[in-house]
């Protein structure tokens, strides 16, 4: 299996340089022990309490893009500390990654409390996903009940199907707004029909439409 080595120290002190090198050497030996093919080594100096570390984000991105399934670390504190550790454990779990540590000389063994927390997070995410889908379904149903006909109004139906549309026609935003939908409901409704558009973008487009309409009215008056 392919693997990534991740090494971290928390300070820029020169004395920590030897720690990084030692971690790397020990993790390469661990990889050899388990017949893992190391594709990349990431080393960084950053606090374990931070999630948005350049090195760990690079690891996550590489594992996802290159379909690498194993992460090698000295111990779970190298991954992170406090809430950051739990957040990153969850992130790697979602990528179906297996974590090997030197301290376990193999796969990371989570404590009972950590396993319970990760189970709770996964459960909450699943309910959030169901709630989000329910909101989309409700918005679509409400739009159709108010006269919205996507098969008649949305252009290029069936063209490039499978590719996400990046734009939504302003006339549909206006139509849905006039039918009483909130900007959030318009956003989830259009997402249900394949338009990747946020609530903020819907609001901005509608405001631009209103400003344009007002300018046109003033021009006519002149």
| Residues labelled as active-site residues | 10
DSSP string of 107-134, one letter each residue: E----HHHHHHHHHHHHHHHHHHHHHHH
87 neighbors 79 (Cβ within 8 angstroms): no
185 neighbors 144 (Cβ within 8 angstroms): no
Nearest Cα neighbor of 198 from 214, 187, 212 is 187
CA distance 53 to 148: 45
The tally of CA atoms less than 13 A away on the side-chain side of residue 182 is: 7
Residue that the structure tokens 């006339």 belong to: 171
Which residues lie closer than 8 Å to 96 by C-beta, 6 or more apart?
69
Tokens linked to 30: 């661990």
CA distance 172 to 187: 11
Nearest Cα neighbor of 22 from 60, 62, 75, 80 is 75
CA distance 93 to 87: 10
């Amino acid at each position: 299996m392919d693997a990534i080595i991740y090494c971290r120290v928390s300070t820029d002190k020169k004395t920590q340089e030897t720690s990084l090198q030692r971690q790397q050497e020990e993790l390469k030996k661990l990889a050899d022990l388990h017949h893992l093919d190391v594709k990349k080594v990431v080393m960084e100096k950053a606090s374990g309490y931070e999630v948005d570390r350049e090195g760990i984000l690079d690891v996550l991105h590489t594992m996802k893009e290159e379909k690498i399934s194993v992460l090698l670390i000295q111990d779970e504190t190298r991954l992170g500390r406090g809430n950051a550790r739990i957040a990153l454990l969850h992130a790697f779990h979602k990528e179906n990654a297996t974590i090997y540590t030197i301290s376990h000389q193999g796969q990371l063994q989570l404590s009972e409390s950590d396993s319970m927390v990760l189970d709770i997070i996964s459960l909450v995410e699943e309910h959030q996903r169901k709630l989000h889908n329910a909101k989309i379904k409700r918005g679509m149903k409400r739009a159709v009940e108010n006269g919205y006909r996507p098969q008649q109004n949305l252009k290029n139906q069936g063209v490039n199907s499978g590719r996400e549309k990046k734009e939504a026609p302003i006339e549909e935003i206006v139509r849905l707004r006039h039918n009483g939908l909130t900007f959030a409901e318009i956003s989830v409704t259009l997402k249900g029909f394949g338009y990747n558009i946020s609530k903020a973008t819907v609001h901005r487009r509608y405001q631009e439409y209103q400003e344009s309409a007002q300018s046109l009215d003033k021009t006519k008056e002149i």
